[in-house]
Structure 1
Amino acid sequence: MAYQNITGSLTPADIQEIKAAFAIIQAKLPFLVTLSVEKRRKLFKATATSAHKSLSTA
């Protein structure tokens, strides 16, 4: 569903700057890993119920 009231555009130069910034971030954080879909599914999910349980046991 497209939003009627939100517009935006990027110039090719802007896109190149953004890509360069991401490359710098990746170079500065070499310890980051890519998780498979299966590993992401197994990660802890913060929900209202789990947050409430964590707060009540603290």
Structure 2
Amino acid sequence: ALLHAQGRILSVEQLKHSIYELHEDIESNALNVHLHHLRRKLGATLIETVRGLGYRMAEQT
């Protein structure tokens, strides 16, 4: 979802919706765990946290 957003900010709810089916119960920290694993594999600076809004892929220079 972050790659398809092309630098746009995605809210926590948008990301949860893209990962999980609507009928599944989502634990409160499940998205944070996924983001932690992605950052560990891809690099800590690739996914930016936009405080109060959500997450986005960092611009590559």
The alignment's TM-score, normalised by the length of structure 1, stands at: 0.30
**Structure 1 or 2: more helix by fraction:** 1
Greater relative CO (CA pairs within 8 A, separation 6+): 2
Which protein is bigger by CA-based radius of gyration? 1
**Structure 1 or 2: more strand by fraction:** 2
